[in-house]
Each structure stands twice: as structure tokens, then as C-alpha cells.
Amino acid sequence: MMIYRLTSLSACLIAILYPGSIKATEWHDIEHHFSGVVDTRVGYVDSDKSYLTGGLGKLSADAGTQVSLSQLGLSYQAQWGDAWSSRLVANAYVDGINNGVGLTEAMVRYRDIPTESGIRVDVEFGLMYPNISLENVATAWASPYSLTYSTINSWLGEEVRHIGLSATIEFLGKYRQSAHDFSLTGEALMYNDTTGAMLAWHGWTQSSRQTLLQETIPITAIPAMQPGGMLAEQAANSDPFTELDDRIGGHVVAK
């Protein structure tokens, strides 16, 4: 497969609603924040059929010219008190290939004010990305740096999310007259047992799309999957948010 040309004329109405740009009236002492992103594109692709439709192409678009709503993202955050907050993130895509709308993140957070010695506790629970990306840091996990995510972040958006509980202890340097902070994070997670399946099937891809909570991802059909083939029992789609062995995973991060 060769990609001869990929052009994108992006109207990119990125961050029409800037993070924190709308702060609604407090309802029952709860602060409500809305932010959003709208990304519209015109593009031309000369490639194979997209992996999003079970093809061998490495891009999120099929061959030809497309006009698409590449991302319509909305983030809602509620803050009550000094420590408690919650966040819901929904995304919609209208590209003529795999249209859809649904949740991509949902979590509750407790983040207390630091103690006199500069120690702060930060706990999150819900549907979340692992905290490993320096690229997708804008509203609704969009990237402010490029139209198409890097290959590794395209994979993260496709199938690297989980339902988990994350706890962080932060040691803030300014309380100790230091320029350096230190944090230790431990996380318990489930509902991500198929992570890596799509990477094994179609390899690295490039897109600016996040799999919605209710979505499954088509697996590229190969001759071995036909009746009587070695992989005839292989499922036609992969569910990135499923639990297979009822075991809790985890990771620890220090920085």
C-alpha cells in the first residue's frame, strides 16, 4: 500500500468554545463549565480502503475527496467545594465512513488543597485515558499541535482507555523552597483486555478520531477468516472496552 498524496484544507474551527470560556451560573453552589471544539475538513486521499471500514489503508479516510466533521467535542465539568469535581466528554464524527456520537471520557475527581508541608492528594475514578500523552492536551482530548495525531496517539485514541481508579500523592517543591515537584501515582484498572488487538491486526495508523464508548472496531478481513479457514472463529469486530478475565490490572508512575 502506498500513499501518494494526503492533503487537508482544514476549516478547523478549533476551540470555538475555549476551555473555561463559559462559566454558567452556580446551581445549588455547583460551578458548571462547558468547553468545546469543532473541526471541519476537506481532504483528498490516494490510498487503500480505510482501516475504519475493515480495509488495509492506514488513514481514517477512504480514497477520494471528503468533506467531513472531523471532530465535534464537548466537555462539561462540575466543581463543588474546593476538592470535588466531575467531567464528561462527548465526541461526534460525521465523515461518511464511521459516523457516530457518544461518550469518550467520564470521571469523578477529588483533589484537595495542599497541606502546610506541600502534600496534596489527587484521586480520579471513571472512564479515562492513561496519563501518558503530552500531545492531546486540548479540549475533548484534541491536539493543538497537528491535524492528525501521531501514530502512537492514534492508537491511544482507538483502543487505550479503561475504567479505573487513580490515586496520586504530590509533593510540591515551593513549600520546601525547591523548584522541583515530585508525584507518585498508582492506578487500578479494568475493562481494557483487548488493548493491542487492533495494533496487531492493522499495525500503526494515523487519524484524529477517538473510539466512542459504545463502538466496536472492524477487524480487517483476511482469507483465513473465511469459513473453513484457520481463523474462521475470529470475531469480525473488536471491543476496546471489554473485560475478559475479571482481573484487575495496574501501573505505577513516579515523576
Q: What is the pLDDT of residues 55-89, one digit of tens each?
A: 888 888 888 888 889 999 999 999 988 899 999 99
Of 105, 125, 131, whose CA–CA distance to 211 is shortest? 105
Q: Flag whether 118 is in a domain.
A: yes
How far is Cα 5 from Cα 237, in angstroms, rounded to an integer?
29
pLDDT at 130 over 60: yes
Nearest to 202 by CA among 60, 95, 72, 80: 60
**1 has pLDDT over 60:** no
Share of the chain above pLDDT 70, in %: 89
What's the start-to-end Cα distance of the chain, in Å?
A: 41
* Model pLDDT, residue 95: 86
Domain for residue 234, yes or no? yes
Write down the mean pLDDT value for the chain. Answer: 86
What average pLDDT does the segment 18-37 reach? Answer: 67
Q: Which residues of 230-252 are buried (b: 16+ CB within 10 A; e: fewer)?
A: eeeeeeeebbbbeeeeeeeeeee
In a domain, residue 107? The reply is: yes
User: How many CB atoms are closer than 10 A to CB 204?
Assistant: 11
The pLDDT tens digits of the residues spanning 83-127 come to 999 999 999 999 888 899 999 999 999 999 999 889 999 999 999
Q: Name which residue leads in pLDDT, 30 or 1.
A: 30
Virtual CA dihedral for 110, 115, 118, 120, nearest 10 degrees?
A: -10
The 8-class DSSP code of residue 54 comes to T
Give the separation between CA 245 and CA 228, rounded to whole angstroms.
28
Whole-number pLDDT of residue 242: 93
DSSP codes of every residue in 58-125: SBSS-SEEEEEEEEEEEEEEEEETTTEEEEEEEEEEESSSS-EEEEEEEEEEEEPPP-TTSEEEEEEE
pLDDT of residue 76: 97
Confidence (pLDDT) at 247: 94
Residue 11 has pLDDT above 60, yes or no: no
How much is the pLDDT for 144?
A: 92
What's the whole-number mean pLDDT along residues 191-212?
93
Domain count, the chain: 1
Percent of the chain at pLDDT > 90 equals 58
pLDDT of 143 strictly over 90: yes
The reported pLDDT for the residue numbered 28 is 61
| Per-residue DSSP letter, 81 | T
Mean pLDDT value across residues 128-146: 91
Pick from 4, 98, 97: nearest CA to 47: 4
Range of the domain at 183: 6-254
- 188 belongs to a structural domain: yes
Query: Amino acid letter at 120?
Result: R
Query: In this structure, is residue 101 part of a structural domain?
Result: yes
Q: Is residue 145 part of a domain?
A: yes
How high is the pLDDT of residue 24? Answer: 45
pLDDT for the residue numbered 103: 97
Grid coordinates representing 101 are 456520537
Residue 89 identity: V
* Nearest Cα to Cα of residue 1 among 52, 63, 53: 63
Does the residue 1 lie in any domain?
Answer: no
Highest mean pLDDT pick, 23-32, 43-52, 56-65, 169-178 = 169-178
User: Is residue 164 in some structural domain?
Assistant: yes
Spacing of C-alpha 248 from chain mean position: 21
β-pair partners for 251: 187
Given a cut of 50, whether residue 21 has pLDDT beyond it is no
Q: Report H helices in 143-193.
A: 151-159
- For residue 224 the three cell numbers come to 483465513
Cβ pair 234, 197 in contact under 8 A: no
Q: Which among 98, 42, 40, 97 has a CA at the least distance from the CA of 72?
A: 40
- pLDDT exceeds 50 at position 200: yes
* pLDDT category of residue 45 using cuts at 50, 70 and 90: confident
